[in-house]
Structure 1
Amino acid sequence: MNKRVPSNKRYQPTDYEHAANCATHALWIIPSLLGSSLLHFQSEDQWERVSAWVYGAGLSSLFTVSTLFHTVAWKKSHLRDVEQCFHMCDRMVIYFFIAASYAPWLNLRELGPWASHMRWLVWVMALSGTTYVFFFHERYKIVELICYTVMGLFPASVILYMPEQAGLCELLLGGTFYCLGMVFFKSDGIVPFAHAIWHLFVALGAAVHYYAIWKYLYAPPANPVRTSR
């Protein structure tokens, strides 16, 4: 690994770290596309199909955009502007991935009167986060981390109190992987391959959440009763 850089500069990975950054998310692009298709084919109504594709789009976009950014960053040469654009997209897509990950639960599970507003509030938060990245990308890194954390945890206040609790343990486990991974997200220059390790925690969290969505919202033997819409 290279030396740690000041907070106002971006860490420059070694070639080995670049390769690991690319591989640790590229490997999940095809599985995410196949998994999204599976949810679509197991959907029984329009809301399930819409939720499946919204979630699938967020999941596959996360791994695809991340892989493209890290590939360009590795082979950039004179592509400074392109790299910057992909870096912004890499940060923006995280907000939409978080919103998309909550979408199946918020759309397909029974929610209380106030909690139902979270269905659109998560997208307002995603749009706000994207706007922040557009104007203040890499300027206040700690603020970005706080925004990701708040958006990841705030909708859980609704999910945790749903009348149907099946899948809650998997949701908590996946969230734990994300939270543990953030330690490595901020450890470039301290821990070798820190960003690649962060990618692995993201993949683990996403895999656990996908399993929960498939098992408790889509798989025929475990389909819960849907709320009237």
Structure 2
Amino acid sequence: MNLVRFMNNRAPSNKRYQPTEYEHAANCATHALWIIPSILGGVLLYFLSDNQWEEVSAWLYGAGLSSLFIISTVFHTIAWKKSHLRSVEQCFHMCDRMVIYFFIAASYAPWLILRELGPWAAHMRWVVWVMASCGTTYVFFFHERYKMVELVCYTVMGLFPALVILSMTDRSGLYELLVGGVFYMLGMIFFKSDGIVPFAHAIWHLFVAVGAGVHYYAIWKYLYSPDNQQTSTAR
């Protein structure tokens, strides 16, 4: 099977990969599909909230989740249409990378805010946002210069806050968090496979969507569902 029309050659380390028309379309579709569900999901968590901290967590998580899919879709659409406003495309490409840090921090927010944590682990509630700020600052100054460093930053940001699990007395939802994390980690293989695997970036998008879906389910079930809240109250 001739893959030339589906995939371009791999880009040099100092340049950005240029998707084919087919890949552009797939990149847009695989994240645009989840914009409305992510917004509705955040709203649902808000209406299930019983106190202000649950409301704050719902807004943070909903904003992070929907922003990821919205900004990604906007960037890939602009890149696909080959806009003459290259500065706009570059800006949204940076935002596309920056929002990943915000999304990771927002994904941890409900667990860090609503679960009881040990003394040292409680600091992670603000440390995770400091890490996200450092990551976005790095993208601003070194965007696309050191791609492997960027990958390491995403990995550290995704894994380091999980250490708070050691101090949680209630570890329900841990299995779902692990499964979602595995999807993210496997997806990163495709994140770095443009020019090697056809539609690699779109496949990465699908892994992100599945990982986010699993984590959303865990947040809804163990932190917001009426049955679980009633059980927690009874205890």
TM-score class normalised by the smaller sequence? over 0.9
1:36 is the counterpart of 2:22: no
* AA in 2 matched with 1:26: A
Q: What's 1:206 paired with? A: 212
Which residues in structure 2 correspond to 1:28-107 (within 5 Å)?
A: 28-107=34-113
1:216 is the counterpart of 2:222: yes
Shift of 1:162: 1.2
Which residues in structure 2 correspond to 1:171-210 (within 5 Å)?
A: 171-210=177-216
Choose 160-169 or 124-133, whichever is displaced more: 160-169
The size of the alignment, in residue pairs, is 226
Does the 8 Å CA contact 1:105/1:159 hold for their aligned counterparts? Answer: no
1:197 and 1:131 mapped to 2: Cα distance? Answer: 27
1:28 and 1:179 mapped to 2: Cα distance? Answer: 20
**Over the residues paired in the alignment, what is the CA RMSD in angstroms?**
1.0
Please, which of 10, 13, 30 is the counterpart of residue 16 of structure 2?
10
1:79 and 1:194 mapped to 2: Cα distance? Answer: 26
Matched residue SS, 2:14: coil
Does the 8 Å CA contact 1:170/1:208 hold for their aligned counterparts? Answer: yes
1:138 and 1:44 mapped to 2: Cα distance? Answer: 43
Please, which of 166, 170, 176 is the counterpart of residue 170 of structure 1?
176
Matched residue SS, 1:155: helix
- The percent of aligned pairs where both chains have the same amino acid is 81
* AA in 2 matched with 1:61: S
* AA in 2 matched with 1:184: F
| Structure 2 stretches lacking a partner, 5+ long | 1-6
TM-score by length of 2: 0.94
TM-score by length of 1: 0.97
| Structure 1 stretches lacking a partner, 5+ long | none
Matched residue SS, 1:23: helix
Does the 8 Å CA contact 2:28/2:73 hold for their aligned counterparts? Answer: yes
Does the 8 Å CA contact 1:160/1:168 hold for their aligned counterparts? Answer: no
